[in-house]
Amino acid sequence: MKSNKRTWLLLSPGITWILFFLVAPLIMMIYVSFWTQTTFSIKPELTVTSWVNFFSSDTYFGALLRTIRIWLTVLFVTLLVGYPVALYIGQFIKNKTLQTALLVTCVIPFWTSFLIRVLAWRPMLGKEGAINIVLQKIGIIDAPIEVLLFTELSVIIGMVQIYVVFMVGPIAFMIGRIDGSLIESARDLGASSWTIFRRIILPLSMPGVIVGAIFVTVMVLGEFATASALSGRKVNLLGNIIITQVGSLKWAFAAVAGVVLTIVMATFVAVMLRIVNLRNQL
Amino acid sequence: MDKVVSLRWILGIFTALFVLFLYGPFIVMGILSFQQGPEGGPQFPIIEWSSYWYQHVFGLAPPSRVAPLPIGEALIRSLTLAFATMVVSTVMGVLTAQAFRRPFKGSAVVFYSVILGMIVPGVLLGLGMVLIADQVGVARNWWSTAFVLHVVYTYPFAFLVMLAIFNRFDESVEEASLSLGVSPAKTFRKVTFPIIFPGVLSAMLFAFTLSYDEFPRTLFTGGSDVTMPIAIYGTFAVEIHPNLFAFGVLSTLFSFSLLAIYGILLTLSVRRQRQRASGLQEDIS
Amino acid sequence: MLEVKGVSKSFSGVPAVEDVSFKVEQNEYVTLLGSSGSGKSVLLRIIAGLLTPDAGVVLLNGEDVTDLPCHERRIGFVQQKYALFPHLNVFDNIAFGLRHREVDPIKNESLVKQKVSETIALVGLIGQESKMTGQISGGQKQRVSLARTLVTEPKICLLDEPLGALDANLRERMTIELQNIRSELGVSFMHVTGNEFEALAMGQNMLVMSEGRIVEQGIPQQMYATPSDLITAKSMHNFNIFSGDDLHKHMEAGTSDKLSAAKIKKAMHCAIPMDRIDIVAASAKAKGLRAEFLTSEFLGNKIIYFFKTEDGHVCEVEDHMSLRERRELTASTTYALKWKSKDILYYDENKQLLG
């Protein structure tokens, strides 16, 4: 009994903080989404008007579809780009120091300011940007590619670079943990490289893929800065909708967008956790 | 076997390109930050190498059509906020992790609730907090509404770091101290804390950096006195100039120097122990 | 001095210590022998105050300390794996309790220095004072751990398998040293071990624990020769124990003279000292329990022969090299084992020795 009291005493600051500043705001968001919105104010009279408006408006529903499309594209590309890198780091580099050094190299950009990372793409992608200049110098293209900046493509490129780290890290960790003798013995038994990949490496790396996918999903769905900075405010995600609605004091609308975002996110995370039980992997 | 070797090469080249993809923007940004000023724009070619934009960031350049970055006070605010966040979330992280050393009913619920703080997107949390502040009638300020959300965000990181440290912690040293007649509070100060100190240092580093760079939560809840990231975000709307690149380089260097300070502190605490030990060995030999 | 009365403790319904009572007198060396899982470590932690018993009391000099927290008890506790403070050097490790204890901390550094130096001399650590704990050997760590506790002048000192992690050579030396240190200080030691030789050699008084209970308490020599409880006999690793349906048959076969009819009638188990068994060729008329020779183990001053009886029971015979030459036995050959009636110990259905 005595030790139980001590435990809750130790927990009390953290729990209090979480209840007041994490749980309460989220509940408030759900609650407010059912409030009555007038032009300049909001009244705590419950209604589903904001919800109906959200789904019947092309702007908002379109933003939802765009958000989902960009999220899935970024998710797919980070996996496509990140997996081979993680495979290389985890399986082909045998030297532990080199392995750690490479992983650290991949993680370091995460350490720098998020906005600076977004900003750094501007001189890369423009019509006179570094990519166009390099491609023209090598002679791959004659005229500069114009769709690089201020399009959906630039948003996707930026997001992939910013978030791919969260895919590489967990996958490389899981692949690095695979017992080398397992692969050796499979090879001795005559398994081809493809079979080894399909039967051993791929299944064992799945928890890493799931964790990476959850990270990327959660971050991309909450995004708005990359979209507005790299698309010239042309590409509006749900996050951007929330910003503008809050700016114009349309609280109920912002709350609806927030709840929709939460539902998409929670559904995906729940499905992912169904596939792999993470608690067994830790 | 040949196939494996060629696969190794393909993947190696792919990884090299990947690293280039990761660092390319930084390199380009670094180069362009040395663009000539104030006429030089944020693109190639470099008209002439100069450190004009760095002077501009520090307010040393003569006035021109490019407005100076509003960073002076914002920087102070950001550093103060990051420091306060670091202290609170590290203390709470240590306390919570300490509680998790004994199994207790409801530990899973508490664990996931805490972790939720780092997972929930800043936009959503910021929105929720704004709604509450609006209803309760609390003014939004970087030191109040934004501060509490910064802690919600960084506290899970500190908690996870400390949890990992305590997982490898040998409890018997604490029991030894107790059996020597030392009170539990003093045992924590004299035994537990010195041993977990490297972990505490890591937790502090995480909390500070994350808070210093925090952006979406602050955007909603920070009020009119902006922090550094908000000030930078404000400049995105207008035309950008190489002074932002110079600032980007400086802020990246700042992030790295934090990492370096952390590394030095960590090595020092290890070396101090070694030195005390090796000094004696010389006495013997 | 220390008295434990009716102490019980269970963890989520599984009893670890059940109704344990015993006394330790002033200036006494008590050993507690028990295999792993017998509850001996739990008992020790209850006495130290690191665990609270579900029932029963712990008395120290007549005072009830059951609810007193660990740091107010003044009971020394030397842990199994030393548990030295890794961030402090040897000197500071030993001075830790003096400087920081709740009751009567010593603020005067020169007095600390004097006391620590005395203890360092006592345990033989002179010259190691400023080494870090990672730089000293296992035996030295053991000494630091002991010195750290002794310097605080505890009322009684508990030692949890103090020699368990040392190699055999060092272990033998430390046994003697521990006894010397103890008698010099005049403090009571309670030494917990899973090793019967350690328990026998060190204790003036010895307790045997099994499945959470104290099964026997007494003087080591006596407990070794005629254990009054079958569990003690087993933990001495000095007896061949026969039980079950074939008990009588085996005893009839192996005893060279006449069995005590009264005792064998009541006995459910019999124990025969390993060094009181003779091995003879299994000729048709030779009396003795038939058993197949498996292998032998030479241990320097003695040799152990392993046999298997027809029903699969393994029997050990021990010869001291000072008493006879090594026997020439052939593996997988059947021999006859025999012993004298007076050497048999009989135990009843409650595993108690029949007098």
Q: Which two tokens stand for residue A84?
A: 């081979």
Peptide bond before B38: cis, by omega within 30 degrees of 0? yes
Average of per-residue pLDDT across C193-203: 85
User: Domain tally for chain A?
Assistant: 1
Q: Which residues of B touch A196 (CB under 8 A)?
A: none
Q: Measured between CB atoms, does A258 come within 8 Å of chain B?
A: yes
| Facing residue for C100 by CB, picked from B190, B283, B284 | B190
B76 falls within a domain: yes
Contact: B173, C72; criterion CB under 8 Å: no
Q: Measured between CB atoms, does B22 come within 8 Å of chain A?
A: yes
* Complex ipTM: 0.88
Q: What is the pLDDT of residue A1?
A: 45
Contact: B127, A3; criterion CB under 8 Å: no
| Facing residue for A7 by CB, picked from B19, B99, B113 | B99
Mean pLDDT for chain C? 88
C241-347 folds as OB fold (Dihydrolipoamide Acetyltransferase, E2P) (2.40.50)
Asked whether residue B47 falls in the same domain as residue B175, the answer is no
| Facing residue for B186 by CB, picked from C49, C76, C100 | C100
Q: Which two tokens stand for residue B89?
A: 């979330």
Asked whether residue B231 falls in the same domain as residue B123, the answer is yes
Contact: B216, A246; criterion CB under 8 Å: no
Contact: B183, C71; criterion CB under 8 Å: yes
Contact: C71, B178; criterion CB under 8 Å: yes
Is residue C174 scored above 90 in pLDDT?
Answer: no
Contact: B15, A85; criterion CB under 8 Å: yes
Average of per-residue pLDDT across B53-74: 83
Mean pLDDT for chain B? 87
Average of per-residue pLDDT across B81-108: 93
B121 falls within a domain: yes
Q: Measured between CB atoms, does B216 come within 8 Å of chain A?
A: yes
What is the Cα–Cα distance from C269 to C149, expressed in whole angstroms? 44
B209 falls within a domain: yes
| Facing residue for C70 by CB, picked from B170, B179, B194 | B179
A2 falls within a domain: no
Q: Helices (DSSP H) in B137-241: which residue ranges?
A: 145-167, 172-179, 184-187, 193-213, 216-221, 228-237
Average of per-residue pLDDT across C240-269: 84
What is the Cα–Cα distance from B275 to B221, expressed in whole angstroms? 49
- The answer to whether residues C255 and C277 touch, using CB atoms and an 8 Å cutoff, is no
The sign of the CA dihedral A95, A96, A101, A103 is positive
Q: What is the pLDDT of residue B189?
A: 92
A197 falls within a domain: yes
Contact: B213, A262; criterion CB under 8 Å: no
Q: Measured between CB atoms, does B166 come within 8 Å of chain A?
A: no
Q: What is the pLDDT of residue A277?
A: 66
Q: Which of B1, B7, B22, B174 best tests the A interface by mutation, with the highest count of A CBs <10 A?
A: B22
Q: Is C72 exposed, middle or buried (0-12, 13-18, 19+ CB in 10 A)?
A: middle
B222 falls within a domain: yes
pLDDT, tens digit, for every residue of C183-196?
A: 888 899 999 998 88
Contact: A225, B216; criterion CB under 8 Å: yes
Q: What is the pLDDT of residue C48?
A: 93
Q: Which residues of B touch C101 (CB under 8 A)?
A: 180-182
Contact: B12, A88; criterion CB under 8 Å: yes
Question: CA torsion, points C130, C135, C138, C141, in degrees to nearest 10?
Answer: 30
**What's the distance, CA C346 to chain centroid?**
23
Asked whether residue B89 falls in the same domain as residue B137, the answer is yes
Q: Which residues contact B121 (CB under 8 A, 6 or more apart)?
A: A218, A219, A221, A222, A239, A261, A265, B216
Tell me the pLDDT band of B280, cut-offs 50, 70 and 90: very low
The sign of the CA dihedral B212, B218, B224, B229 is positive
What is the Cα–Cα distance from C175 to C188, expressed in whole angstroms? 15
What DSSP element (H or E) covers A60?
Answer: helix A58-87
Asked whether residue B34 falls in the same domain as residue B147, the answer is no
Q: What is the pLDDT of residue B174?
A: 94
Asked whether residue B106 falls in the same domain as residue B236, the answer is yes
Cα nearest neighbour of B150 on chain A: A21
Q: Which residues of C touch B178 (CB under 8 A)?
A: 49-50, 69-71
Cα nearest neighbour of B182 on chain C: C101
What is the Cα–Cα distance from C126 to C146, expressed in whole angstroms? 14
A207 falls within a domain: yes
Q: What is the pLDDT of residue A279?
A: 56
Smallest Cα distance from C125 to chain B, Å: 13
Asked whether residue B17 falls in the same domain as residue B148, the answer is no
CATH code at position B174: 1.10.3720.10
Containing domain of residue A75, as a range? 45-277
Region of residue B227 (left: phi > 0; alpha: psi -120 to 50; beta: else)? beta
Q: What is the pLDDT of residue B283?
A: 39
| Facing residue for B276 by CB, picked from C79, C89, C96 | C89
What DSSP element (H or E) covers C269?
Answer: strand C269-273
3-state secondary structure (DSSP) of residue C66? coil
A32 falls within a domain: no
Average of per-residue pLDDT across B231-244: 82
Q: In 3D, which of B92, B134, B101 has the Cα closest to residue B223?
A: B134
pLDDT, tens digit, for every residue of C78-110?
A: 988 889 998 899 999 999 999 999 988 999 999
Looking at per-residue pLDDT, the higher value among A75 and B105 belongs to A75
Tell me the pLDDT band of B282, cut-offs 50, 70 and 90: very low
Q: Which residues contact A234 (CB under 8 A, 6 or more apart)?
A: A150, A151
Average of per-residue pLDDT across B190-211: 90
Q: Which two tokens stand for residue A87?
A: 């495979």
Asked whether residue B41 falls in the same domain as residue B76, the answer is no
Q: Which of C11, C71, C116, C159 best tests the B interface by mutation, with the highest count of B CBs <10 A?
A: C71
Chain A touching partners, 3 or more CB pairs below 8 A: B
Containing domain of residue B25, as a range? 2-57
Chain C residues within 8 Å of chain B (Cβ atoms): 48-50, 69-77, 79-81, 83-87, 89, 96-97, 100-103, 127, 129-132, 134-135, 145, 148-149, 152
pLDDT, tens digit, for every residue of A56-78?
A: 988 899 999 999 999 999 999 99
Asked whether residue B215 falls in the same domain as residue B98, the answer is yes
CATH code at position A129: 1.10.3720.10
Contact: B191, C85; criterion CB under 8 Å: yes
- Candidate CATH numbers 3.40.50.300, 3.20.19.10, 3.30.70.100, 3.40.50.620; the one for domain C2-233: 3.40.50.300
Q: List chain A pLDDT tens, one digit each, 282 residues.
A: 457 888 999 999 999 999 999 999 999 999 999 998 887 778 888 999 889 999 998 889 999 999 999 999 999 999 999 999 999 998 888 888 888 888 888 888 888 888 888 888 888 888 888 888 888 888 888 888 888 888 889 999 999 999 999 999 899 988 988 888 888 888 888 888 888 888 889 988 998 999 899 989 999 998 898 998 888 878 889 999 999 888 888 888 899 999 999 999 999 988 988 887 665 555
What is the Cα–Cα distance from B163 to B243, expressed in whole angstroms? 42
Domain boundaries, chain C: 2-233, 241-347
